[in-house]
Chain A
Amino acid sequence: MTSRLIYMDHGATTPLREEALEAMMPFLKGQYGNPSSLHAPGREVRNAVEEAREKTARALSAQPEEIYFTAGGTEANNLALRGAAKIRNGSGHIITSSVEHHAVLDVCKDLEKEGYEVTYVPVDQYGKVNPETLKNAIKDDTFLISVMAANNEIGTMQPVQEIGRLARENNILFHTDAVQVVGQLPVDVQEMNVDFLSLSAHKFNGPKGIGALYMRRGIKIAPLYQGGGQERKLRPGTENVPGIIGLGRALELATEEIPGKKKHLESLRDRLIKGLLGIGDVILNGHPDERLPGNVNVSFKYIEGESVLLSLDMEGIAASSGSACSSGSLEPSHVLSAIGLEHSEAHGSVRFSLGRGNTEADVETVLEKAPPIVERLRNMSPTYHRSQ
């Protein structure tokens, strides 16, 4: 009997890695100086912050002065979208996709209320945006396109490079929410043709409460609040120094590890998908190949996702679901609806997101524990009986 937790919810968050914690510790203890101070303790901390900025820039093939630290992915998304809109004083057109994270989608909805026009381009059955559809949505006053690099729920990768080219040809700013991709796959802001890119440290074994926005040099946006002028006046407020140091260290290491980790996770992912589909009446959500290395999202037909999660949890397996019952909103996930799943299928969705630390044995344990759980719940289900 094993009592080890099998954590397969890395899409939600990841554990802080030891090296990042070690790098942070001095700044939680003795090195308390304010990086804006002129004195020695302040200067020391300033140097460390700038070193972390360089590491972050290097991981993205960007310049240090193009990195702005924020409180996380949500704030980076808000800063890019609202900041780009704000200098336009309430008019203009934005294009985004129907499967964005709420930190983009709900910002767009809010901007609509402020007078901006927003087009939400649909996706195909795999959750992919067609660049041609996006091209047709461009208007004379389109000033911003925001499409995520990969979807947080179903793992589908978007044709970011192509969309970026399209944006550039049309002189439109392009933002990508790359929270699920940074630290998992190589990211090069030049190749991707992006003007803004959001990232979050706790998705790559860094600390929570810290993220960054990459903004291409020469672009002007408005800050969302006023203060002491930190982060080149774009994000004022005394820096979250330990967070920034932890982000820099975690990203440096995650980037180095990408080749090996990608291969490892892809092999675990494919084994898990194959095994789960083998249960029968199970649908794979998202793209079969063009998906995040660690993302597995399936719908178990005739049963409800939260029931599956609770049962898995009792076996020491941590996963997540896009079902209405687990969302807290009574609505199934907008992503699963956007790819055309029936309500009952979306209801039975479960996401296993693999990450650093997961092993083949973990996958085998899940494949051993899941079938009896699914069978037990199906035997209780009125829809399962009818379909037999």
Chain B
Amino acid sequence: MYNDKIVEHFNNPRNVGELKDADAVGDAGSFKCGDTMKLYLKLKDGRIDDIKFQTFGCAAAIASSSMLTELVKGKTLDEALQVTNQDVADELGGLPPLKMHCSNLAADALHNAIANYREGKQAG
């Protein structure tokens, strides 16, 4: 049911873990299926210098998390906000229809992290 790219990201997810000195932290959860994700950002000169995630979820959720971190690393916050759930799914070569909501988790966590940062909330 999953393509090779999704399986590859599931097996070797990029940027897994947490950042102790993160500048921004965000999370997202799917009320529908119970998956949750936490995202950590480290900023430098207005850009995402480092990014890490932790995800409790299925292969689609883990692969989406991994892909999102790759897509936004090095981007400014405004640029990062342009990345949509559809972009994440497209970059993964498409998700099964029932799994589309899993990709929402990743972009939602990113938006939450950026909103938290802009509201001046401290990480942690």
Q: Residues of A at under 8 Å CB distance from B?
A: 302-304, 306-307, 310, 314, 323-326, 328, 330, 332, 343-344, 347, 379-385
Contacts and interface: CB of A to CB of B under 8 A. Distances in A.
A347 B56 CA distance: 10
B38 A382 contact: yes
Please classify the interface of chain B as helix (H, G, I), strand (E, B), loop, or mixed, using the class held by over half of its residues: mixed
B106 to A, nearest CB: 13
| Cβ-closest 8 pairs across A and B | A325-B58, A382-B54, A382-B38, A324-B33, A306-B58, A381-B56, A330-B32, A347-B34
A380 B58 CA distance: 12
Nearest to B18: A385
Interface string B53-84: 01111111110000000000000000000000
Contacts of B7: 310, 314
Interface in B9-54: 10-11, 13, 16, 18, 27, 32-38, 54
Given A307-B10, A307-B57, A380-B56, 9 more contacts: A307-B59, A307-B62, A310-B58, A325-B99, A325-B102, A330-B33, A330-B98, A347-B34, A382-B54
A327 B112 CA distance: 28
Contact of A382 (B10, B32, B55, B59): B55
A200 B33 CA distance: 31
Nearest to A305: B58
A66 to B, nearest CB: 42
A380 B33 contact: no
Please classify the interface of chain A as helix (H, G, I), strand (E, B), loop, or mixed, using the class held by over half of its residues: helix
A343 B34 CA distance: 7
Given A307-B10, A307-B62, A328-B98, A382 B34 contact: no
A380 B62 contact: yes
A324 B34 contact: yes
A171 B59 CA distance: 51
B33 A325 contact: yes
30 contacts: A304-B35, A304-B56, A304-B57, A304-B61, A306-B58, A306-B59, A307-B57, A307-B58, A310-B7, A310-B58, A324-B33, A324-B34, A325-B35, A325-B60, A325-B102, A326-B58, A330-B32, A330-B33, A330-B101, A332-B34, A343-B34, A344-B34, A347-B34, A380-B16, A380-B55, A382-B27, A382-B37, A384-B56, A385-B18, A385-B54
A215 to B, nearest CB: 38
B76 to A, nearest CB: 26
Nearest to A306: B58
Contacts of B61: 304, 325
Contacts of A382: 27, 36-38, 54-56
A303 B101 contact: no
Given A344-B34, A382-B27, A304 B58 contact: yes
Which among B10, B16, B57, B102 has the greatest number of chain A C-beta atoms within 10 A? B57
Given A330-B101, A380-B16, A382-B36, A325 B2 contact: no
Nearest to B98: A328
B58 A323 contact: yes
B36 A383 contact: yes
Contacts of B18: 385
Contacts of A385: 18, 54
Given A310-B2, A330-B101, A379 B16 contact: yes
Contact of B32 (A303, A314, A324): A324
B55 A381 contact: yes
A259 to B, nearest CB: 40
B26 to A, nearest CB: 11
Contacts of A380: 13, 16, 54-56, 62
A210 B103 CA distance: 40
Contacts of B58: 304, 306-307, 310, 323, 325-326
Contacts of B11: 314
Contacts of A381: 54-56
Interface in B85-115: 98-99, 101-102
A374 to B, nearest CB: 13
A33 to B, nearest CB: 42
